[in-house]
A and B are shown apart, each in its own frame.
Chain A
């Protein structure tokens, strides 16, 4: 029997706004897991993106705040120009550490930190992007027993990032973007309801 998933971490870069919109619009309103999204964005990236995502998402979307408790059923976006880390007590920590893979936030940094806390109860998702961020993190998610889902590179606006993840990791599922939300809904609903 699979352990239930408590959190979904999503990494995306170039083409990521449209991909996030598509993904979030498909997530079920009663999804019993936290969704944490890292997207490479310019520094000035803003609240307008959050409000646009809120329009399409049935789950509330907000920026992850320092020391904020992580709750199921909420979509958290990483603030621009900070790395996002997860504390053992399931709160967020921000870091102004040097860029990783030329990026801050870095997908690898979030994935690794989340894997160390959520372990087998974590799903990692890599979507469209034009670099290799996320591959190393996805590998660590697998090492801790979590689940790895990657967007089919043939379906991605920018195939490099999902392709790099596929090259680096033995992933569990490869899907076109349109089917990823449905997969997540069934994973969480199927196993998550009777847990905290």
Chain B
């Protein structure tokens, strides 16, 4: 058995599947992290009983329902409200006071998934008196999760964790002020949704859509390969005003990024950067 060749064959099959998805359906996973694709495609193969990646590729090409399932598998994204409380504490204490000096603030949550972190931001802005002069754009390429995000309904069993995160993030009220519980779910208050615009945007294929004061993109780029990460960081730089803020996930960094020079770290620990380079 030639190990190197077996691995190469998997790589070729994955690339061809991604090419098929792109040409046929327009979703671009060609520059996703290969390790990530390998794992997700393997799951899809198990669910659809496909004997090989190539067999799955064939099914995707001829069967839209099969593609829909694979797309769902490729876009699972889990997060939580106030994930990494220390990050939200830093926003509250150091970033928002600066943002308050602007007459109006535009914030972009890129890859917002089901919206937990967007609503965390809305709560933070409210408590810090910035909400009424802010506009939040929350985007994702997946229409299904965007719809979920819009609905602002979350399973009740997560509330304990969210509440603990909220308190650790320096929350000023009772977390229960922000939601209504019904059966096994909670729905967030309508006022939290007022200043959020949800829309479809694909970081792999779409471009700048406005000038932002802050971009939040946490644990999204870890799913991309280096080339796509480089492009997306450039897209964020192009979207941000001078001294605009870029927030990444706590284990993401600009360390290996080709466009790192456009940013300066505000906090290396929390991965908060400001744009200092001018193009």
Contacts and interface: CB of A to CB of B under 8 A. Distances in A.
Contacts of B219: 96
Interface in A81-114: 82, 85-88, 93-98, 109, 112-113
Interface string B98-140: 0000000000000000000000000000000000000000000
A103 B252 CA distance: 20
Nearest to B38: A116
Nearest to B220: A96
Contacts of B1: 120, 145
A20 to B, nearest CB: 20
Nearest to B14: A88
Interface stretch (B16-24, B29-37, B185-193, B207-215): B29-37
A121 B229 CA distance: 30
Interface string B58-81: 000000000000000000111100
A109 B35 CA distance: 11
B3 A95 contact: no
A123 to B, nearest CB: 15
A196 B39 CA distance: 27
Contact of A94 (B38, B76, B251, B256): B251
Contacts of A94: 222, 251-252
14 contacts: A65-B251, A65-B253, A66-B256, A82-B222, A82-B251, A86-B35, A87-B33, A88-B10, A94-B222, A94-B252, A95-B39, A96-B79, A119-B6, A120-B3
Interface of A: 3, 65-68, 79, 82, 85-88, 93-98, 109, 112-113, 116-117, 119-121, 145
